[in-house]
Amino acid sequence: MAKLYFRYGAMNSGKSTALLQVAHNYEERGQRVLLAKPAVDTKDADRISSRLGVARSVDFLVHPGDDFRAVFGRERALVVATAVDALVPETADVACLLVDEAQFLTAAQVEDLLRIAVLDGIPVLAYGIRTDFRTDAFPGSRRLMELAHQLEELKTICRCGRKAIFNARLVAGRFVFDGDQVAIDELSPERVTYEALCAECYLRESGGQLSG
């Protein structure tokens, strides 16, 4: 049985780099993959970009009201129909579905990912962050933590050298701890950035505030 994996980490923990490496590994062995991400993440439009400068276009975007399994099914059928160069039938089908910024999925779409893995037999690797800048779980991440067969933390370090687990938001260079859960920097009227912090540094900057 194929499985649903959730690989999560704080900001700048190398999630997109890891996803692109997995895609490369599959394709290097003649396997076909599909890459997807939520349309709400407009930072790189229809691309997945890593901090190392590697980038790649996704095969499809998922909008908030979409049935993820239905959209994937259409994309999968297209891949199979156009795989006229496949040397063996097994390589014509999709070997893996890779999802970036999975925290922006709805709970229902995460449930679709489980169905894709279990009912359709396609492994699903979802990458994302666990909590927002207020330490509250994103709906997609919460459901992934509940449903995924396997959880894997991708680690990064805080500015103090400890393991970073929280994602702090800065507006015009100043930490903020209130506001909308999603703020894409390119769409903000002010310069929005994020910094991965350990619990101690987060609490120091927030004055002990934890909204979760």
**Tally of CA atoms within 13 A in the half-sphere of 30 that contains its CB:** 9
- Reply yes or no on whether 101 is catalytic: yes
Q: Which of 101, 190, 195, 200 is catalytic?
A: 101
Q: Which residues are catalytic?
A: 101
